[in-house]
Amino acid sequence: MIQGIIGKKIGMTQAFDEESVMVIGTLIEAGPCYVVSKKQKEKDGYDAVQLGFQEDKPQRFNKAKAGLFNKSKVPTLKILKEFRADDADYNEGDVVKADIFNSGDVLDITGVSKGKGFAGTMKRYNFHGQPMSHGGMAHRRQGSIGQASYPGRVWKGIKMPGRMGGVNSTIQGVKVVTVDAEKNLLFVKGSIPGPNGGTVILKRTTKGDK
């Protein structure tokens, strides 16, 4: 059994479960993904498959990557990701779809969070801020970052203004509500990282759902 798949975030919506309770969640296009290559325990030390997602123009790939796709007899694919899987379950050229998941499965979902640009400490780290009353002259400023005489420097890693967002982010324990195998769609509970249309990585987890 393969442990994950590559998908695309479509957007957030709401639906009603079997008990007529409204569930707010995210719709994901999970696959179809192609098996581009395989890792075997006898040769590589572990069993895994490399999946490809989202077709792209052949002229955008160098000869090495184009040769990899030609060998596996799959289209030229933009995104490649390796997942653990049993060696006997899949062969090069096979198609992996959303039906590898079932309702009730729990996943870890990784995506690139939305970029917020340069941000101050109140927005970036949820700092409280300084007094907002009349006479206060540093309402949203960070405040002191150093000491007097010892050690006389700024400690490494101190929280300061800077670039916010645009980093890999993982939400753990996301529950699969429904699976539409025909359209390769997953409806998962809650929100996931990234903008609509962003690429996400879905992996099985043993942790409980949130």
Sequence ranges of the domains in the chain: 4-115+168-204, 116-164
- What pLDDT score was predicted for residue 90? 82
- 25-39: average pLDDT: 90
Report the alpha-carbon distance of residue 168 to residue 176 in Å, rounded. Answer: 21
H or E element that contains 188: strand 185-189
- What pLDDT score was predicted for residue 93? 84
Which tokens sit at 197?
Answer: 């249309």
- 43-71: average pLDDT: 87
- What pLDDT score was predicted for residue 208? 61
- What pLDDT score was predicted for residue 201? 95
Is 51 strand, coil or helix? Answer: strand
Is 205 strand, coil or helix? Answer: coil
Q: Which residue has the tokens 């975030």?
A: 9
Q: Which residue has the higher pLDDT, 16 or 193?
A: 193
Other C-beta atoms closer than 10 Å to the C-beta of 119 total 14
pLDDT digits (tens, 9 = 90+) for 61-93: 888 888 888 888 888 889 999 998 876 678 888
Tell me how many helices (H) and strands (E) the chain has: 3, 12
**Closest among 44, 34, 43 to 90, alpha carbons compared:** 34
pLDDT at residue 207 above 70?
no
Q: Which residue has the higher pLDDT, 176 or 93?
A: 176
Q: What contacts 147, CB < 8 A, 6 or more positions away? A: 153
> What is the phi-psi region of residue 197: left when phi exceeds 0, alpha when psi lies from -120 to 50, beta otherwise?
left
The type of residue at 196 is: N
pLDDT digits (tens, 9 = 90+) for 91-143: 888 888 998 999 889 999 999 999 999 999 999 999 999 998 888 889 999 98
- What pLDDT score was predicted for residue 126? 95
Question: According to the CATH classification, is domain 4-115+168-204 in 2.40.30.10?
Answer: yes
pTM above 0.85, yes or no: no
Report the alpha-carbon distance of residue 173 to residue 202 in Å, rounded. Answer: 11
